[in-house]
Amino acid sequence: MFRKYFFRIFLALTSILVLYFGIVFLLSVNYKHEIRDFIIRNINDKIKKPVKVKDIDLSPFSDFPYITLILHDVIVPKSDSNDRPLLKLKKIEVLLKLHRLLFKNYNISGLTLSDGMFDGRVDSSGTNDFDIFIKRDSVNEKPRLSEIKIDKVKLKNFEIYYENQYKPKCIHLLFKNTESRLSLDSNNVKIALDGTIYSEEVTLRPGTLFKKADLQSQLFINYDFNSKLLSYDNCTLKAYNDQYYVSGNVDFLNKSLMTLKIKTKDASVQNIFRLLPERWTKSIELLNVSGRVNAKASIAINLLPGNKPDFKIDFSGQGFSIANKLLNANVHDISFSSANLTSNGNMGAEHYTITFENLKGVINRSDSIKASQLMFKNFIDPDVNAEVAFKLRSKTLFDIVYFDKYSEAGGSFFIKGSYKGKLNYLLGKPTKVPVIKGIVNLRNVSVKLNKVYFAFDTLNGEAEFHNDFIRMKKLRVQCGKTDMEVNGIAKNLFNSVYNDKPGLQLDLKFVSEQFYFSDFTQFPRSKEKNEKRNIRLVKGSQFIWPYNLRARLTGRTSKFYAQNYQANDIELGIQVDSKNLRVSESLNSFGGTMRSVTDFIPRKNHIHCNTDVRIEKIRIDKIFKAFNNFGQEIILSDNIRGIVNGKFDTYFRMNSSLELDSTSVYVNGNYEVHKLEMINVEPVMKLSKVGFKEEELQRVTFDKIKSSVIIKNNVIDIPRTLFVTNILYFYLNATIQPDGEAEFKMLVPVKNLKKNPDTSDLTNDSKAGLSLPLKLKGKAGKLKVL
């Protein structure tokens, strides 16, 4: 029984299939040309030039239970005389239901467009080649379209190319494998599209978006013919593995105003740059930025020429890094709580602004940047407005700002301040000077400049700066064993040293507990043996100070050391300009006080030095010790005692390399000596040869002595001077040659033979009366009585 019913069911199904395929066969023979003619006639009735179809087929198998109508080599011509077609398709597959086909109802259930291209263009005069529809009697009458509902529209390798030379735009898309739903009537077009689109370019002046990008799309698009409003809602777009959520519209009645809202999460910033116009991101891409972004964008752009955009993009990010040779540093681990990208009313890249809030980042390994606000305006020549804090090693700072005038750098800077000006200024390119304000802390900073020797090992302290006006606060300087605390101001320091321009001004005050003169005179020596120091301080009648330096330096040091010389409580003043260097000082030294004013004056490639020195209560033995007994071995610090007051005028000359011309030294001094005592001084001991006891001459004390000294051509000349001692009085004048050869001329009055002769009225010019002349000549240890 079962076999009987099964056979009947099988026979019925077979009959149905035979009937179905018989009907399809009859349709393919009798109606396919009628269907083709119907489709072509309805299309050609609405367009200016006829559409061309090479062949048509009907297939019952490929999309059963639908009938597939296949149009081969379809060509829709342009509205102008151009031979290039507006639409060219290798194949169009139309799905129709059989019962509708029998009753000549050609509503479409599905549509597949394969291996085709739409090519629409607008020339420079504004004329398009796709105005193919025939206009009716009234210009306001729209072409009537029969209602079309298509459940599925498939696009396989379908290319769209649109170029507008009048309003510069270009769209070049390839629909690789997409599936859509289409609903079309005289008022609306509704499209739902899902699939892969390859974007060669989407160019909207001034740049190209989505260049060479595979886009996974899910789009919902609606166009209203009456309101001319193109809208898109709840659309998603996946590009370079990043997901974007899009909604908005284009209002063609309102100056083609496009509004667009975009959201994305954890998108790669490098991929975002690849989607944006090249001209917008050209400068940023050079920085080689990487990282991920959360963004929310609101954009309003008038697409017609001459109109201005209005858009706002809010985003946040983390894990950013910048690695580019222009920065000379690797900036990484950048994060910011929020950021904003806007335009101030123009599509040009120079009108864009990007702002970051609470930005943090690491520079190289140990340095860092923090910015409560960081703003860049103008993407072509960026303006920077920043409130930042840096922790930077000296080398990092100098490298970032392209400062190449140093050979070594140590220590670190802590900088907190604001910057308002061009970014190119920081990159060492000529531009307007920015407004820079803030505070810098220096920690063990050291630097060796290529152009000028800085005589310090480390700097510690704090300074305020406003552009090139710098106020130093307790700046501690360490150089060798010397310590110093500096306060004061500097003008044009950054512009002079960084941009190598003249105008450096310093006004400083310093305090030092220990100041070693040798720490500031040890210039770096050349690697070549016997090579002279490369110093040149004078040209013509001007000093060649680095950066045309003008300075005023005042200060005090508790203890000053220079070779064997030591001074205490020194008050120092230095004034520097191109015409003069004046050094004023007062000090406690050699047991007394000394005041001096020295002028260094440039003349004819030489430095002329004039000094006015006043001394009070200076101990002679300490002077001789400090100056190594003035290069002679007759009167030494070990065998002379006394206190001297006096006034000395000195002069000497140096060349531009600071080499002293010893023949130029001239000293003219007047002095008084109190409590002078000589112990075993050779010229005095020679008096034993004229009748004085040797034991009396071993220790001779003097009454007050008034005399003078002249040094000229390296010759020391002491004029006739009265010496009254505890054993005798005598007149002496002396001449000491540069080679140490000395000549002493003594007059010993006969009155010395009396006990306690009266010397109260005697002077250097008094007549000696009957005297015993004595002449000594020779070098130390070899003096001979002539």
Look-up of token digits 């700072």: 397
Which residues, at least 6 apart from 566, have a Cβ–Cβ distance to it below 8 Å?
Answer: 559, 560, 589, 626
Closest CA to 374 of 412, 423, 326: 423
pLDDT in tens, 739-751: 778 888 888 888 8
Window from 42-51, 254-263, 285-294, 423-432 with minimum mean pLDDT = 285-294
Per the CB < 8 A criterion, the answer to whether 652 and 609 are in contact is: yes
Under DSSP, the state recorded for 144 is P
At residue 211, does pLDDT exceed 80? no
Please count the CA atoms within 13 angstroms of the CA of 694 that sit on its side-chain side.
Answer: 3
Under DSSP, the state recorded for 326 is T
The pLDDT of residue 462: 92
> Token digits for 67?
């009938």
Per the CB < 8 A criterion, the answer to whether 412 and 393 are in contact is: yes
- How far is Cα 420 from Cα 384, in angstroms, rounded to an integer? 6
The pLDDT of residue 719: 93
Provide DSSP, 383-421: EEEEEEEEEEEHHHHHHHTT--SEEEEEEEEEEEEEEEE
What band does 520 get if pLDDT is binned at 50, 70 and 90? low
Under DSSP, the state recorded for 64 is T
The pLDDT of residue 30: 54
Q: How far is CA 24 from the centre of its chain?
A: 78
The pLDDT of residue 7: 47
pLDDT in tens, 312-339: 677 777 667 776 666 677 777 778 787 7
The pLDDT of residue 531: 44
What band does 616 get if pLDDT is binned at 50, 70 and 90? very high
Query: Cβ of 273: how many Cβ atoms within 10 Å?
Result: 16
Per the CB < 8 A criterion, the answer to whether 421 and 384 are in contact is: yes
Closest CA to 133 of 45, 224, 223, 252: 45
Which residue has better confidence, 180 or 605?
A: 605
**Angle at CA 350, nearest 5°, toward 344 and 354?**
60
> Taking residues 571-594, what's their average pLDDT?
86
> Taking residues 4-13, what's their average pLDDT?
47
The pLDDT of residue 529: 44
- How far is Cα 316 from Cα 55, in angstroms, rounded to an integer? 57
pLDDT in tens, 346-369: 656 677 788 888 888 888 878 888
Report the mean per-residue pLDDT for the chain: 77
Window from 300-309, 384-393, 468-477 with minimum mean pLDDT = 300-309
3-state secondary structure of 437: strand
- How far is Cα 253 from Cα 55, in angstroms, rounded to an integer? 41
Per the CB < 8 A criterion, the answer to whether 755 and 725 are in contact is: no
Which residues, at least 6 apart from 558, have a Cβ–Cβ distance to it below 8 Å?
Answer: 512, 513, 514, 568, 569
- How far is Cα 2 from Cα 8, in angstroms, rounded to an integer? 10
Percent of the chain with pLDDT over 90: 7
> Token digits for 576?
């520097």
The pLDDT of residue 528: 46
The pLDDT of residue 148: 56
The pLDDT of residue 138: 46
> Taking residues 768-777, what's their average pLDDT?
83
> Taking residues 206-227, what's their average pLDDT?
76
3-state secondary structure of 65: coil
Is 443 exposed, middle or buried (CB count within 10 Å of its CB: 0-12, 13-18, 19+)? middle
The pLDDT of residue 646: 92
The pLDDT of residue 14: 47
Provide DSSP, 182-230: EEE-SSEEEEEEEEEEEEEEEEETTEEESTTEEEEEEEEEEEETTTTEE
pLDDT in tens, 103-119: 555 566 677 888 888 88
> Token digits for 201?
């370019």
The pLDDT of residue 141: 47
Per the CB < 8 A criterion, the answer to whether 643 and 591 are in contact is: yes
Per the CB < 8 A criterion, the answer to whether 440 and 413 are in contact is: yes
pLDDT in tens, 420-464: 998 887 766 778 888 989 999 989 888 877 666 555 788 899 999
Which residue has better confidence, 533 or 713?
A: 713
- How far is Cα 379 from Cα 398, in angstroms, rounded to an integer? 25
The pLDDT of residue 728: 82
At residue 768, does pLDDT exceed 90? no
Q: How far is CA 371 from the centre of its chain?
A: 16
- How far is Cα 475 from Cα 309, in angstroms, rounded to an integer? 52
Look-up of token digits 């290529």: 450
Q: Indicate the Cα dihedral angle 693, 698, 704, 709, nearest 10°.
A: 110
